[in-house]
Amino acid sequence: MKRKEILEFIEQEKIVAIIRLNEQIKAPHVVKNLILGGIKVLEITSNTPGYLDEINNARRLYPNVLVGAGTVTDTRIAENAIKAGAQFLVTPNTNKAIVTEAHKYDIPVLMGALTPTEVCLAVEYGADIVKLFPAGNLGIDYFKAIRGPFNHVKFFIVGGIDLNNMQDWIEAGALGFGIGGSLMGSNENKEDIAKRVAKFIKLVKEI
């Protein structure tokens, strides 16, 4: 898929599942269960042990799912993730070099930004989507204030998103979400994950 097609797919799905684990052995199980629940876009963070292997494995096993790399803070991580098969990159920070590297390979970047200056820089650098992070700490009122001068920017919201507030964020102008803990919960049981995921997907598609 080309960058434009990948971006359109992400915008259509609206949810990027964030997989951040402390043990590599859990990754295949979590990926499988999220996908069984209906997730079609996921990121495996660079601070998950063996993340490059798990990106490669997920690409091979689930060709109809978009697999990206998260917590991409520098070009070294970006290069390694792209070589492993990442179809998009997600950053917590605002870094021009990462956009330059990704776009060389026709790969989109969801770039982390929080302040007005960081949002401006992310747009200037060519970020495909601005990831407002950590959004939950400042809340919807802050997002509404940011959107005033930046109503042309595509925002995905990351941090503090759950079933109780997702609709409010969308009504405030959010294009989509990166969600980790709320999807996973404290129980990694297959049925529990699938049920939670299904609720999130149903809600986001209905709004």
Residue type for position 39: I
Is 131 tagged catalytic? yes
Name the active-site residue from 13, 40, 43, 101.
43
> How far, in Å, CA of 3 to CA of 41, rounded?
14
SS3 call for 159 = coil
Going through the chain in order, the beta strands assigned E by DSSP cover: 15-19, 41-45, 66-70, 89-90, 109-113, 129-132, 155-158, 176-179
Helices (H) and strands (E) in the chain, counts: 11, 8
- Please classify residue 53 by burial: count the beta carbons closer than 10 Å to its beta carbon, then call 0-12 exposed, 13-18 middle and 19+ buried: middle
Residue 43 annotated among the catalytic residues of the structure:
yes
Instruction: Single out the catalytic residue among 14, 40, 131, 154.
Output: 131
Catalytic annotation, residues: 43, 131
